Amino acid sequence: MRAPGRINLIGEHTDYNNGFVLPAAIDKAIYFAIAPRTDRLCKVYAADLNDTFEFSLDSLNKCPKSWANYLIGVTSELITDGYVIPTGFEVAFGGDVPNGAGLSSSAAVESGMGWALSELFGLAIPRLQLALVAQRAEHHFAGLQCGIMDMFASIHGKANSVIRLDCRDLTFEYFPFDFENYQLVLCNSGVKHTLADSAYNTRRQECEQGVAILQQFYPTITSLRDVKLAQVEAHKADFSENVYRRCRYVTGEIERVVSACEDLQRGDLVAFGKKMYETHTGLSEDYEVSCVELDFLVEQTVALTEVLGARLMGGGFGGCTINIVETAQVDSFIEKMTVAYRAQFNKKLVCHVVGITEGVARLEKL
């Protein structure tokens, strides 16, 4: 089984606000090998960590090993949904999705685990249901109240296409992203972020506070998806400074995703790239989820003519920037960025050139 990581071109921190996101599955993935047992025991092996854990189908509880909780959580949530897992199993997994880089390695593990169990036991679980199961596993077993984007992208990815997902009703549409003259390059700051222990949940609470305030004036509002940027500006005095800036960013970003998709339909990657810079400014200044390393990496690209757009990607507080770079200049771009990063922070910059691929799938035996 193969479960890809994901990138998100634009639309950050909009998913849990019922907005739009624009992710895609990438050619870096977590791979699974799974086999049934004849008892109720489940043995799991994390190849990249060289670590093992065992649990029983009769006792699906959180454990001290964070990585094992993703697998236990998916198993538990499937059973909660009424799917029958008749026996225990043995599973080994590992891959090349960089951990802590904002490429959703955890979502790939959860998505791949759900798909592997569905395939192994002939459960025929719909893809959307798998994404919802993976999301609940993250909520209940990893402690992160994340949106559904990461799992959805890993499961629904399509080659050379990005997915505009409406996080309010989970409808989606594919938009073309097949520009042979440009490549997507990720620059990994090397700053590790642990979202469950960060300000992620605080940002979510601040958005909810903004909705509660706006509901006093607009009773039909249920999330920031229902709010226009103009409404936020009109009620600036009613918010605390932080809540105002969070709401300003989110409502503007939701509108930006819609406009960016129009750019892709026209094949206007230049306009799309400019919106990526706008997103980064909002994430850094209004949503305050950047860091000095990410800001530096984006700032370095502004004067580079081979770069159409750049921004931090993922939850923030570290991880990668995503860059649209002219194909012929990719090697030169990586060299420039590596040298500049070393000079500024005395740290090695690891870059990844990624392609957009299909979502989770079964791999045939070689």
Asked whether residue 152 is assigned to any structural domain, the reply reads yes
Asked whether residue 341 is assigned to any structural domain, the reply reads no
Q: Which of 15, 150, 226, 263 is catalytic?
A: 150
Structural domains of the chain, count: 1
Q: pLDDT > 90: what percent of the chain?
A: 86
Q: What is the pLDDT of residues 262-272, one digit of tens each?
A: 999 999 999 99
Nearest residue to 182 (alpha-carbon basis) of 112, 103, 272: 272
Nearest residue to 323 (alpha-carbon basis) of 277, 267, 254, 286: 277
Asked whether residue 338 is assigned to any structural domain, the reply reads no
Number of H helices, E strands in the chain: 10, 12
Asked whether residue 156 is assigned to any structural domain, the reply reads yes
Asked if 295 is an active-site residue, the reply is no
State mean pLDDT over 16-26. Answer: 94
Q: What CATH number does the domain containing 47 carry?
A: 3.30.230.10
pLDDT of residue 366: 40
| 64: containing domain | 2-176
Asked whether residue 24 is assigned to any structural domain, the reply reads yes
Q: How confident is the model at residue 61 (pLDDT cuts 50, 70, 90)?
A: very high
Contact by Cβ (8 Å): 36, 89: yes
Please report, for residues 7, 55, 152, 200, 272, the alpha-carbon distance to residue 147 in angstroms, rounded to integers and kept in the order given. 15, 27, 10, 11, 24
Query: 169: which 2 tokens?
Result: 């009703």
Q: Provide the residue type at 259 as one letter.
A: S
pTM above threshold 0.75? yes
Q: What is the pLDDT of residues 152-205, one digit of tens each?
A: 999 999 999 999 999 999 999 999 998 889 999 999 998 876 554 567 789 999
Asked whether residue 23 is assigned to any structural domain, the reply reads yes
Quote the mean pLDDT of the chain. 93
State mean pLDDT over 61-67. Answer: 93
Distance of alpha carbon 320 from alpha carbon 107, whole angstroms: 17
Asked whether residue 89 is assigned to any structural domain, the reply reads yes
